[in-house]
Amino acid sequence: MLSIVGAMLVGTTFNSYAIPTNCHGRFMNPITDICWSCLFPMFIGPIPMVFNIGNQKGGTIIDDDKIIPPGIPGVVPGRLPAGLCACPERDVALMPIGLMMSYYEPSRFVDVTKSPFCMVGLGGVDMSAGLSGLLPAPGYGDEKHGLETQSSFYQVHWFMDPIMAILGIIDTGCNLGMSKSMDLMFMSEVDPTWNDDSLSIIFSPEVVLFSSLPAQLACGADCIASSLPNIPTDNTPILPTPYYIRPTTPTNPASASNPSKALFWCGGCQGSLYPLDGNNSDSAYAVQTTILSAEKVTGLVHRMGIEDYTTGIFGMCNNLMPDMFMDKSEWKYSMGFPVPQTAYTPVCCNSFGETDALWNSGASFPYTGEDFSYMMYHERDCCFL
């Protein structure tokens, strides 16, 4: 799809200089705009320790609530003692032994824009001159004020951007079956379900279960549970056992004892994730609403089968099986445009549902700061060879 977009860019670049546009953006600087501390928590076998800089929230492959059963050599991939692993499907005869590794990879970024066909993360290129006539799409990103509620609508673009594989930082054994090039995976302008609540039920029929008042009130608990400061438990040696187990704390959204883990239909402080479309019924301000849109499209691309398993026994040895259900704890995000979140706090990324009250001041502003781009960090478990 990216090759098609490239052809469109050739036809629209000259128009972008001649015609005034409301599309703004820039390419993310991999040095200054990506929250590299968001890679943590990180586990690298056979070291009996989980490394965590900045006390980041998130899960690892050795968490006590998602222990993977030991692998049977030659039959199934899985864990071996002392932080080792085996992937027989790569070579049944040799069955190479590797090191278990777990971290959060900056591998996707999302445009959230009020202007259809505005490629925020590609430098603010406006493609509407070449596409809006063929694919008319709504672009009303402004808030619509009702009696007591405010609603908004944004278009989104889901990009594959495996920056670590492109730079060759971590490659062998951790990206088997995954594309190592940048590509455009989803455009909401060409998806009719993104514009219509009734059509969105195609990918999320369970939305009817979470439209009740109690289900929506539960999202308040998700907001609190996702925003609690993470109790530091990492950077200390793990008890010497054959299979390393990392104790997770209730303040970590990746823990099974955290309510956020069970409230999968909630986007925490941003609102409800359902319906999985661009209509946000409770829109307070631009940052909150665009974060919610980014979280919604993450769930949608999972339902479409665009995202594969990257954790557990289905993702440790390859990335070939579609993951149809989003696990919020496997994703984190940071703002890249209009203001990189790295400029705000040392903890420059957030778990899904976490409050943005600590950093959203000045993160959006009129005219050039009304389109957004977010870097998405996905937990990756791998058998590093």
The runs of H, that is alpha helices, within 134-285 are 163-167, 213-227, 259-262
Examine the pLDDT at 94 and tell me if it is beyond 90: no
- For residues 114 and 282, the model is more confident at 114
pLDDT, greater one: 92 or 140: 92
pLDDT digits (tens, 9 = 90+) for 178-209: 677 899 999 999 999 998 899 999 999 999 99
What per-residue confidence (pLDDT) applies to 350?
95
Higher pLDDT, 334 or 84: 334
For residue 196, the enclosing domain spans 2-384
pLDDT band at 384 (very low <50, low <70, confident <90, very high): confident
**pLDDT digits over 207-244, tens only?**
999 988 999 999 999 999 999 998 888 888 887 778 88
pLDDT tens digits for range 123-168: 999 987 766 656 656 655 545 555 555 788 999 999 999 888 888 7
Query: What pLDDT was estimated at residue 12?
Result: 43
pLDDT at residue 176, as a whole number: 63
For 361, counting Cβ atoms within 10 Å of its Cβ (0-12 exposed, 13-18 middle, 19+ buried), the class is: exposed
Identify the weakest region by mean pLDDT among 125-129, 260-264, 345-349, 350-354: 345-349
Predicted TM-score (pTM) of the model is 0.90
Asked if pLDDT for residue 278 goes beyond 50, the answer is: yes
pLDDT confidence of residue 10:
41
User: Residue 43 — φ and ψ, nearest 5°?
Assistant: -120, 135
Where does the chain have alpha helices with state H? Answer: 2-18, 128-131, 163-167, 213-227, 259-262, 286-303, 312-315
pLDDT at 338: 95
Peptide bond into 41 cis (omega under 30): yes
What is the rounded average pLDDT for all residues in the chain? 84
Which is it for the CA torsion 121, 163, 76, 66, positive or negative?
negative
Q: Report the half-sphere exposure of 100 (CA within 13 A, side-chain side).
A: 31
Q: Would you give the distance in Å from CA 225 to the centre of its chain?
A: 19
Least confident of 10-19, 119-128, 326-335: 10-19
DSSP 126: E
pLDDT tens figures, 282-319: 788 999 999 999 999 999 999 999 999 988 877 887 77
Per the structure, how many domains does the chain have? 1
In the predicted structure, residue 89 carries a pLDDT above the cut 60:
yes
User: What is the pLDDT, as a whole number, of residue 168?
Assistant: 79
